[in-house]
Chain A
């Protein structure tokens, strides 16, 4: 039995290895499902937006199927959609993704999970990445989602809900991530 290799920070120069290419456009022409943009800022303990942060997403397609051999559901795969994306920040310190809204996926114990996106956050100053989830404020299924319900503090539960809006006729979900201070975003030990 070997022990895990320790995590270390991505540091300030991760772009050289990780974001040289554009990786935040997850949906293309012909991708199935509702096209959405997800964007927001990652805030430090002083409430200041972090420029050298990197966000990665992993999500199911619009049918609720992951592109992975362990997802043995009979739902269709979308050949144009891998479900993975990565974003640094722009000059306003916003991360952003062009994607589709995921469908519901199975949970444990015969439950169904509300549509959500799985999130990893890396930054200069973060020695270990943080895991969180993005849910959508227009989904009734949030009320019965086991992961959301496991968060007893309702104000903190709301930190996982992205707010739907529109810009230039397109759907934009806003999701800010508060690494610490105020109502800190829920991060998971998983």
Chain B
């Protein structure tokens, strides 16, 4: 008899609702019916691991990952953090995918028509993998704020998008983090969609002087917590 040790449920006090009126495009794009409960099976406790992934040398350095050989414009930052589960156990060897706007607040994407300069030396995309202590680190430039059409004079605060898998299908997470002291944060409906103050605080990176490198770049720390796993298995497949 194989035992299924399920992962903890999604914590709906931490995650936004599907529909959040102040974020206009969420209104027609989320389920309205009650989610159907599904007791986890082998299908849910397994998932893609990417454990044999080989990152190209430049992928953790977004300041120099184009083929121009030149450096991106902007304020260099070093972003570090740990990926943990709810029991504070590190999630080792897990893939993190990164994307962001450039220093002027423009994405290298055809849909982005904001009249701010593109940077030929910056794609805004990168990847890293956590080490055996769950730690990650990458070098990038601080993204700029940018306008969007959600409401009148709407601006997104500076943020960096992150995508993580964790050890199973159900530990998947896409999130974004913000920088301390940004006056646009309290005005941002995407940030405000998180229902609790403590949840919103968990989307804030902190300035990390111990990570800052003299004469080079400022350091920021952002830890990420994925769903943990329950200790007691229930009877599973043979």
Contact present for A189 and B190 (CB under 8 Å): no
Tally of A-B Cβ pairs under 8 angstroms: 252
How far does the alpha carbon of A4 sit from the alpha carbon of B170 in the complex, in Å? 13
Scoring B11, B31, B161 by chain A CB atoms within 10 A of each residue's CB, the highest score goes to B31
Instruction: Decide if A14 is an interface residue (CB 8 Å cutoff).
Output: yes
How far does the alpha carbon of A158 sit from the alpha carbon of B123 in the complex, in Å? 42
Contact present for B86 and A4 (CB under 8 Å): yes
Contact present for A123 and B35 (CB under 8 Å): no
How far does the alpha carbon of A118 sit from the alpha carbon of B172 in the complex, in Å? 12
How far does the alpha carbon of A4 sit from the alpha carbon of B10 in the complex, in Å? 8
Interface string of A156-189 (1 = CB under 8 A from B): 1000000000000000000000011100111111
Residues in B1-44 with C-beta less than 8 Å from chain A: 2, 4, 9-11, 14-18, 20, 23, 25-33, 35-44
Contact present for B9 and A106 (CB under 8 Å): no
How far does the alpha carbon of A7 sit from the alpha carbon of B13 in the complex, in Å? 11
Of B66-74, B179-187, B220-228, the segment with at least 4 beta carbons within 8 Å of chain A is B220-228
Instruction: Say whether, besides A106-B238, A147-B38, A5 and B225 are in contact (CB < 8 Å).
Output: yes
Q: How many residues of B contact A (CB 8 A)?
A: 84
Size category of the binding interface on chain A: 35 or more
Instruction: Decide if A130 is an interface residue (CB 8 Å cutoff).
Output: yes
Residues of B within 8 A of A120 (CB): 169, 172
Complex partner residue of B99 from A14, A60, A133, A186, CB under 8 angstroms: A14
- Cβ of A62 to closest chain B Cβ, rounded Å: 15
Residues of A within 8 A of B127 (CB): 17
- Cβ of A105 to closest chain B Cβ, rounded Å: 5
How far does the alpha carbon of A15 sit from the alpha carbon of B10 in the complex, in Å? 26
Instruction: Decide if A154 is an interface residue (CB 8 Å cutoff).
Output: no
Residues of B within 8 A of A58 (CB): 43, 46-48, 169
Residues of B within 8 A of A66 (CB): 42-43, 46
How far does the alpha carbon of A108 sit from the alpha carbon of B38 in the complex, in Å? 11
Interface string of B192-230 (1 = CB under 8 A from A): 011000111011000000000000000000011111000
Interface residues in chain A, defined as those with a beta carbon under 8 Å from any beta carbon in chain B: 1-18, 20, 44-46, 50, 52, 56, 58, 60, 66-68, 70-73, 82-84, 105-111, 113, 116, 118, 120, 122-131, 133, 147, 150-151, 156, 179-181, 184-190
**26 A–B contacts from the bound complex (CB under 8 Å):** A1-B87, A2-B85, A3-B202, A4-B225, A5-B202, A6-B199, A8-B175, A8-B176, A8-B190, A8-B193, A17-B97, A17-B99, A67-B49, A68-B168, A71-B46, A82-B48, A105-B43, A107-B237, A125-B27, A126-B30, A128-B30, A130-B31, A180-B30, A181-B28, A184-B33, A189-B38
In the complex, the 3 A-B pairs of residues with the closest C-beta atoms, listed nearest first? A106-B237, A17-B99, A125-B25
